[in-house]
A and B are shown apart, each in its own frame.
Chain A
Amino acid sequence: MKGLELRRVVITSVILAVFFGLGVGFVAYTQQKTADQIELNRQAVLLGQIMEVLSGEDYNNNPAEDAFILPNPEALNLGAPVIEPAPDGVLPDRVAGEALDRAFSAGQVGFRARHDGEVTAVAIPVVTHRGYSGDIRLLIGVDTEGEIQGVRVIQQRETPGLGDKIKADKTDWILGFSGRSLGDPPAESWAVRKDGGRFDQFTGATVSPRAVVGAVKEALIYVERHRPELFGRAAEASREGEEHE
């Protein structure tokens, strides 16, 4: 009787194990077959978003493949840095491999547009917690002059029909940032009209545009503070030149 029961348990376990093995096998096979296509899709979506925010810029590299780890990601509300700067304060720049992967999955990378190797603009993410319903994630393209090339909403859950007008496929509102910079309009006018600023809000929805305007402004301030890290030596040289003038 006892032997019979043991036999039963063993057979049942073996059956269970066989089915689990088969299940895992099929999933692993599909995963392997689709991995390349999924990676291509991800790259295409990313490149599409980057190209939209760098529309006015002249570049001849593939910015999606020119990712760099953002210094001080907290300033962009991207969370605590997953990559610590080296003791001398230098962030591992264009590192490939694991460090970049980790920064990538944490959303703490920016992308560089280059013309013949010279950085002409960067596309950086910025998050705001002041949306009407959850975080709004933006991608913003800024050139070496600090001028906005484009802003796009990457992620949002604003009210359909009201707050979601911040999306480029709903209205042209977000295109109004192109060509703006920290001095244009002046800092105190970087707000929606209701708050005395220069940017329109929507009828029935002030919170979402207010959050976006605030986030774009924060991103511009960030770019100003981190010019050398973002644009590399070229920007530093041009800034030094300005100072001498």
Chain B
Amino acid sequence: MSDPRLSELALDGLWKNNPALVQVLGLCPLLAISNTTVNALGLAIATLVTLVVSNGVVSLIRDWVRSEVRLPVYVMVIASVVTIIELVMNAHFHSLYNTLGIFIPLIVTNCIIIARAEGFASRHGFGFSVFDGFVMGAGFGVVLIALGALREVIGFGTLLADAEQLFGPVALDWGIRVLPEQMTFMLALMPPGAFIGLALLVAFKQAIDQRQSRRARAARGARSGEPTAEVAG
């Protein structure tokens, strides 16, 4: 298979084929853990590291793994990587580990990871696979963090509260109050708030995409001198 261009890969992971907004994969951790920025950031980093490492390993072993057993081998690689990350987090970021709880082991079940292992890393070289894991992880992470920030600001009125769980004592006063406590809206913290927040982000992306394609069509139409048909919605 021909090698893809890095810029295309990056655009794919971060925008055009964003795992959270377009592929809508990995919703379980996305919705459950995005109630504060710091939780979201913690899970985003853990997912990104898992994607990079599992993509890299799968790419390295792709010539030795026969197609009959490739899925069990990939699942095993992913499970090992996640278990190792879980142990390291338990040892070095203990309070964050306690907050994220069950959602770290559940990274194993995040379909983005097996999807990238099977769909990309098993067919491309090491460098490309690591890069793909990175941009896909970043695309997922950015949405996770955006949703976390949105929900934390609306629900708690703060931003980056409890950052010391992730960054240690230097981060003790990183948390800022954006809204006074009387103005917070608790719905944002509860599961419906997660769905509504994600829906808003998806809609936001769609709006930008549509505006761009309308503009592109208008430009084409102007060149060819034909009226452009507007697509409703």
Contact = CB atoms under 8 A, between A and B. Distances in A.
Interface of A: 11-12, 15-16, 19-20, 23-24, 26-27, 30-31, 34, 37-38, 41, 44-45, 159-162
A24 B76 CA distance: 9
B189 to A, nearest CB: 4
Given A23-B77, A160-B190, A30 B84 contact: yes
B90 A34 contact: yes
Contact of A19 (B65, B68, B88, B189): B65
6 contacts: A15-B69, A16-B69, A16-B73, A19-B73, A27-B87, A162-B186
B184 interface: yes
Contacts of A159: 186, 190
A24 B77 CA distance: 10
A41 B80 contact: no
A16 B91 contact: no
Interface in B158-188: 184, 186
Main DSSP-derived SS at the A contact region:
helix
B79 A23 contact: yes
Interface residues of B, number: 28
Interface of B: 35, 61, 64-66, 68-69, 72-73, 76-77, 79-80, 83-84, 87-88, 90-92, 94, 98, 155-156, 184, 186, 189-190
A51 to B, nearest CB: 16
A162 B186 CA distance: 9
B147 to A, nearest CB: 16
B88 A27 contact: no
B87 A41 contact: no
A37 B92 contact: yes
Contacts of B61: 19
A27 B92 CA distance: 16
A31 B91 CA distance: 10
Nearest to B95: A45
Contacts of A26: 80, 84
B69 A12 contact: yes
Given A15-B65, A160-B155, A45 B35 contact: no
Contacts of B156: 160-161
Contacts of B80: 23-24, 26-27
A16 B66 CA distance: 9
B153 to A, nearest CB: 14
A160 B73 contact: no
Contacts of A160: 35, 155-156, 186, 189-190
A31 to B, nearest CB: 6
A19 B66 contact: no
Contacts of B184: 161
A12 B70 CA distance: 10
B78 to A, nearest CB: 10
B17 to A, nearest CB: 29
